[in-house]
Structure 1
Amino acid sequence: MGMITSAWNSLKMLESYDKSKYKEMRYCAILALISTAVLYTIPYICGFLLDWMVESVSAEQSLDIDYLLDVCTVILLMVVLWYVASNESKRRMSLIALSMTRHMRESLNRKLMRVPVSYIDNALAGDMSSRFTNDIPAVSKLVSSDYTGFIAHLTMIVSILLMMLISSPVLGLIFLLMVPVVIFIGWRISTRSERDFSEMSVKVAELNSQMNDIITTHKTMKVEGLESEVVDQFKRTNRDFTSAYVKSHTRSGMLNPMVSTMMNVGYLLTVIIGAVMLYYHNMPVGMFLTFMIYVRVMSTPLLLTVTLFDSIREETVSLNRIMDVLNAPEEEGEDTDGDFRITDGVIKVEDVSFSYNGDRKVLKGVSVEFVPGKVYAVTGSTGSGKTTLANLLMGFYRPDSGSITIDGRDIKKISREELGTNLTAVLQNPWMFSGTIRENIIYNRSDLGEEDLKEVASLTGLDSYVNELPDGYDTAIGEESTYIPLPQRRLLALSRALIGDPKILILDEAVAGLDPIRGQSILDRLLASKSGRTIIIISHNQALIEQVDEVVHLEEGTVNSHLLDVNAS
């Protein structure tokens, strides 16, 4: 029963995910059931036909050719029905698997765009990427072949047992006693291996995560001389994965030999008892041959059922991991109607407290207001909460208490799309994606053209760097492409932030690392364009701080001072 329960639970999960596709899957399962039942009825009809012919010859009667042709026609039609139903089921299930997994990938991608940043922070990068690279292909295999295969082989077992009982009730009952034993052994072994398969999935995620870290922090490891430590850590994780793999597959690998042994014992008993019954004329020759065919064929569906059950268990773990992500809580505000629009860009932070892990408060009762037409500097020592405040303003996290409003609307109730359109930021470590410099700046904004691109590049000073490149703005960057130094990457990120003319601009050490002349030039241009825009700069640069309109100084998570007129002070 454990096999059927596990398979049923996985099917219920698929039904909850996509009911329309689940209905098609049920239709395919019915086709598979029909094709299997028809296929294993054919040997019984052949045995019946053989006995009829033997009896006719024994009674020295002439064969009824019309009757013989009618039976052969029925068998031929059954073969055609089996072929059509079987292939149609496989064809449809392949299309369903393709459609469902494509939709699942898109759903996972959309979900990752809607979950809170804290959800991503608490997940290993390798674990999340393995949902796409490992788990979705496993679900595709579950839908395309294992689901209908499991049903078809269960149907084979039931059909064969039924035909055995019809062919010879005595031999059928003897053989029937062995089937529960085989299934019980398979269930016990599979139940114990389920935990091992789950552990193996976790270890695969850890391996992926470590490989991702090795690739992305390769230079840091070289500089710090951490190669040997990283190699040792990877060896430990790889050893744990190997141990989990060997344990799970060794245990599940015991199934086939045990089932084969039991089936061979059953075959031997059937031959001995059947031969005795045949000798004493208690069983027709045709039914005996039919029964022996069923006994020999029975081992295949039993072995495949148990093997498929192992696969379904492993694939159900993958399905659970995907559903865990799809059922994860989304950010507040994602279900808004989208009618609200940011018009001015007035930000009010009122008595906001926040902690990342629920223990130490990073911000404690912070209250501050940012209005358009001014440039603000947020200062403070390392760990004072500057970047955390910027993260809250960008909607990456939600305050534990207090509120943040933009134009009088709680940030929780503003859609991510609206925030992304009117609030942009340049972070300490600028993000680049694989593509051209042009694509990295314009980034899917179809309403922007070449003039907008060159205007913003001129504003940030990126144009002088790009003009020296052979391919200019069409230069490919990103992974395995042209390397861009960090200062120029910051200029590119600043250009991307400014090109959409946002009402709110947050710069987290955005001009750090630039030469003083370039940094001052960018600041002058930002100050000149501050009209109608709220600009918040997080910086330790004293020369920069002296030129802004207001300074908000944080110390240990609280506003230590708020200078309203920097120049006067």
Structure 2
Amino acid sequence: MKGNILKRLLKYILRHRRFAAGALLCALFSNILMIAGPYIIGMGVDNIAGKGRVDFENILYIVLVILGLYIVSAIFQWTLQVLTGKLANRAVEELRNDVFVHVSKMPLEYYDRNPHGDIMSRLTSDMEYISEGIFQAVTQMVTGIISIIGSLVFMFILNPAITLIVLIMTPVTFLIASFITRRSSRLFKEQSRLGGELNGFVEELIGSQKVVKAFNYEARAQERFEEINGRLYKAGRWAQFYSSLVNPSTRLVNNITYVLLGLTGGLAAVAGRLSVGYISSFLTYSTYFSQPINNITSVTTQLQTAVASAQRVFAVLDSETEQTDKGLMEFKSSGGKVSFEEVTFSYTPDTRLISNFSLNVQKGTRIAVVGPTGAGKTTLVNLLMRFYDANSGNIYIDDINIRAMTKDSLRKSFGMVLQDTWLFSGTIRENIAYGKPDATDEEIVNAAISANAHSFIRKLPLGYDALVTEGGGNLSQGQRQLLTIARVMLIIPPMLILDEATSSVDTRTEIKIQKAFNKLMEGRTSFIIAHRLSTIREADVILVMNNGQIVEQGNHEQLMAKGGFYSKLYYSQYETAD
């Protein structure tokens, strides 16, 4: 699994070969120049120790050469940092774009089953961990490998026998690091998962502050937060504990190696097989050899966190998206005839909501759908708009199966006003023109007038240029709903879906909006879902639903005369408690 994740990350890195190649060249040149330094220093030491007097001219030349090598190496090292930073940011930018595009194509079912805060965490904090991991992988691991190989080559040149000590001790270092890393990897995955869970809880809590305060839920919310945060702390503590053992353990082995090299190097010098200068060079190379290993193990935490985060991000990319519209027809409604044929649907396999549902709606008919909570009213809309697909059966518009249409063209055929309003950060003008960005000012104003929103918009300091905060938090619920109604009235769609469209406005405004809706619905097939039965009395046909089935059908007068389920619903709204 981890290998597959690293391969997928590598594909994003290799999309920017210029930066990757530049970083590798800088790492190569920087380390070669750095590694050449100790060899030259050893020559200088021997130049001093092997003569009765010091040749300052020769020493000065060696010092200048070494100084030049280190300056150029530092320049390459700085360039490496810059290129690696750009490489990491570009790779993560593309990964984030791919995830965002993928998320926009995912079915509503995914959002219904996954906490929104956790999804946001994968697009934000997990991406940052990946970026940091890529940066550390290039700057520490790549340069470390070059340094290890270069140091090993020079040590073999100086004394192959002593170099065997380094080669014998090196596997011990990697075995210790691997042993600890395997145990901490699971904890880092758990840490990432709990981080997403905590973000989801916080996002949910912040978005529902009014409810939290209204029901005095603060204390219980604090308890729940502390419980999740405690589990996150525990997982993070043990992950950090295990990963913190890596660096000290490897440094211990490297220090033992350093002592052994010093002893064997001293014996070799006494025996005349190694000069004093090259002993100093050898010890320096042993440091160059061990230091990258220590550096790599010191960033194990970031690397493992990056891998765990990448696994969470790629899990999103691996989730199924909605079926593509390739090969499907572009639908343009010319009528508005709608038919449901033996449609069966359930959100979960163990609970069937709609079973063998059939319905025929003629062009231009106003269909009101009523019934108790959970009867399946909104589900009909979800199926009609293909937010969900029926488990069995078919739905037709103008005698064309909606599965044969592109989702985009299908949804453009409907104007939809929901009980839950949605506004984005921007001006009122931009929010109204959301479905028609090229709308003229006159069209926008006329739509606002039709929705009875023009009067309150004019009273705002900037009118139609007034800014709306995220979610429309600076407007009342009723004002937000008026803007969403104006948004639909601007595009004048062939068919309408009104799901509790006037539930958040006062009675006087509702009457005015109802008149505008009646004008808008003339000649258009319209589906009206309402709990307040007084708002649908003028509907051509009222469908009374219960347990996913139509139990009664007719206009208001006919249903009231039957004295059945509908009349009981109607009168129950006017009953007063004793």
TM-score with structure 1 setting the length? 0.89
Aligned AA (1:369):
N
Equivalent AA in structure 2 for residue 280 of structure 1: A
The letter for the 2-side match of 1:42 is: G
How far apart are 1:172 and its partner, in Å?
Answer: 1.1
Q: Which amino acid aligns with 1:398?
A: D
| 1: CA distance, partners of 2:433 / 2:412 | 13
Contact 2:48/2:54 (8 A) holds in 1: no
1:12 aligns with 2:12: no
Q: Which residue is 1:380 aligned to?
A: 371
Residue in 2 that maps onto 1:556:
547
Mapping of residues 78-477 of structure 1, within 5 Å: 82-83=73-74, 85-335=76-326, 339-443=330-434, 445-477=436-468
Q: Which amino acid aligns with 1:175?
A: V
User: Comparing 160-169 with 479-488, which one deviates more in the overlay?
Assistant: 479-488
Q: Is the 8 A contact 1:150 1:308 kept in 2?
A: no
Distance 1:396 1:365, change over 3 A: same
Tell me which moved more, 234-243 or 132-141.
132-141
Q: In the TM superposition, what whole-angstrom CA distance separates every residue of 1:381-436 from its partner, at most 9, and x where no partner exists?
A: 11110111112222221211122233444434433433443323222221122223
Cα distance in structure 2, aligned partners of 1:417 and 1:428: 22
Quick one: which amino acid aligns to residue 258 of structure 2?
Answer: Y
CA distance in 2, matches of 1:379, 1:34: 75
RMSD over aligned Cα, in angstroms? 3.0
- Tell me, what secondary structure is at the counterpart of 1:368? strand
Q: Is the deviation greater in 513-522 or in 388-397? A: 513-522
Deviation at residue 266 of structure 1 after TM alignment: 1.8
SS at match of 1:329: coil
For residue 306 of structure 1, what is the amino acid of its counterpart? T
User: Distance between the aligned counterparts of 2:5 and 2:293, measured in 1?
Assistant: 21
Distance 1:519 1:103 in 2: 47
For the residues of structure 2 that align with 1:19 and 1:341, how far apart are their CA atoms?
Answer: 44
CA contact (8 A) 2:148 2:290 kept: no
Instruction: Tell me if structure 1 keeps the 8 A contact 2:370–2:543.
Output: yes
Residue 481 to residue 364, structure 1, CA distance change in 2 (3 Å): closer
Question: How many Å separate the matches in 2 of 1:490 and 1:254?
Answer: 58
Residues 437, 62 of structure 1: CA spacing in aligned structure 2 closer, same or farther, 3 A cutoff? closer
Q: 1:44 aligns with which of 39, 42, 53?
A: 39
Distance in 2 separating the partners of 1:359 and 1:101? 40
SS in 2 for 1:254: helix
Contact kept, 8 Å, 2:189 with 2:308, in 1: the verdict is yes
Question: Structure 2 CA distance, aligned partners of 1:32 and 1:40?
Answer: 12
| Counterpart for residue 539 of structure 1 | 530
Amino acid paired to 2:412 = T
**Unaligned runs of at least 5 residues, structure 1:** none
Q: Give the equivalent residue in structure 1 for 2:562.
A: none
**Unaligned 5+ runs, structure 2:** 560-578
C-alpha spacing 1:335/1:42, structure 2 compared with 1 (3 Å): farther
With the length of structure 2 as denominator, give the TM-score of the two structures: 0.88
Measure the CA separation in 2 of the matches of 1:97 and 1:533. 53
Is the contact made by 2:15 and 2:91 (CA closer than 8 Å) also made in structure 1? no
Q: Distance in 2 between matches of 1:546 and 1:245?
A: 60
**1:14-53 Cα deviation digits (max 9, x unpaired):** 2445753267535633542443244213322443565477
Q: Provide the rounded CA distance (Å) in 1 between the counterparts of 2:318 and 2:18.
A: 22
Is contact 1:345-1:407 (8 Å) kept?
A: yes
What letter corresponds to residue 34 of structure 2 in structure 1?
Answer: L
Corresponding pairs, count = 559
**Residue 373 of structure 1: how far off its partner (Å):** 1.9
Q: Match of 2:394, SS?
A: strand
> Quick one: distance in 1 between partners of 2:236 and 2:55?
65
Q: Specify whether residues 480 and 420 from structure 1 end up closer, same or farther in structure 2 by C-alpha distance, changes over 3 A only.
A: closer
In structure 2, what is the Cα distance between the partners aligned to 1:409 and 1:181? 70
**What are the superposed Cα offsets for residues 516-559 of structure 1, whole Å, 9 maximum, x if unpaired?**
33323322322222244321110122222220111222210122
SS in 1 for 2:459: coil
Residue 376 of structure 1 contacts residue 552 of structure 1 at CA under 8 Å; is this kept in 2? Answer: yes
